[in-house]
């Protein structure tokens, strides 16, 4: 019989300490059923049962919410396709990558045109066949 009482007493003490600390830290608006001082009295004077009752019925996090999940946290997406934030970040990354690729393509095209212009000017040399810088008509002196 003693072998059963010692572990039960340890578990009871642990549940009681945890329940008292949680009850003390829980804001008044999150406490259900009875008032905070009454919960403290129930936890202290009914050691194991009072703590278990607090964990199940006392705090708002202990119950089942309307989404069917335990706790007061909002439901999390079950897969990445259900997560709107993930999809939004993914779309932003795709758009940024497309912008970067377009910018690189335009820069290469610009470099290619500049190189062609330089080659054309080097091939023409100082003699521009009587044309001005724009290439329209004879150069005026």
pTM over the 0.85 mark: no
DSSP 32-92: -SS-HHHHHHHHHHSHHHHHHHIIIIIBGGGSB-TTS-BSSSPPPPSSGGG-HHHHHHHHH
Computed from CA positions of residues 100, 102, 105, 109, in that sequence, does the dihedral angle turn out positive or negative? negative
In sequence order, what are the residues at sequence separation of 6 or more whose Cβ sits closer than 8 angstroms to the Cβ of residue 69? Answer: 75
Q: How many CB atoms lie within 10 A of CB 28?
A: 7
Task: Give the whole-angstrom CA distance, residue 73 versus residue 61.
Answer: 8
Predicted confidence (pLDDT) at residue 18 exceeds the cutoff of 80: yes
Average pLDDT, the chain: 79
Gap between the Cα atoms of 39 and 31, Å rounded: 9
With contact defined as beta carbons under 8 Å apart, do 37 and 53 qualify? no
Flag the least confident range among 35-49, 73-87, 100-114.
73-87
Residue 99: pLDDT band with limits 50, 70, 90: very high
What SS3 class is residue 14? helix
Collect contacts of 95-98 with beta carbons under 8 A, ≥24 apart.
none
Angle CA 49–52–55, to nearest 5: 150
Per-residue pLDDT tens over the stretch 40-80: 888 888 878 888 888 888 877 644 444 444 455 566 667 77
- pLDDT above 90 as % of the chain: 23
CA distance 40 to 26: 12
Whole-number pLDDT of residue 6: 86
Residue 112: predicted pLDDT? 94
pLDDT of 139 over the 70 cut = no
Give the per-residue pLDDT at 63. 46
């Amino acid at each position: 019989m003693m072998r059963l009482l010692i572990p039960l007493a340890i578990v009871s003490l642990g549940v009681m300490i945890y329940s008292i600390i949680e009850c003390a830290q829980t804001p008044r608006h999150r406490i259900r059923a009875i008032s905070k001082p009454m919960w403290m009295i129930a936890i202290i004077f009914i050691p194991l049962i009072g703590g278990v009752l607090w964990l199940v019925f006392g705090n708002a996090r202990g119950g089942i919410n309307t989404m069917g999940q335990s706790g007061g946290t909002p439901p999390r997406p079950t897969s990445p396709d259900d997560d709107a934030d993930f999809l939004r970040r993914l779309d932003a990354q795709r758009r940024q990558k497309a912008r970067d690729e377009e910018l690189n393509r335009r820069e290469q095209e610009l470099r290619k045109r500049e190189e062609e212009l330089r080659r054309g000017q080097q091939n023409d040399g100082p003699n521009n066949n009587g044309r001005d810088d724009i290439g329209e008509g004879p150069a005026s002196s």
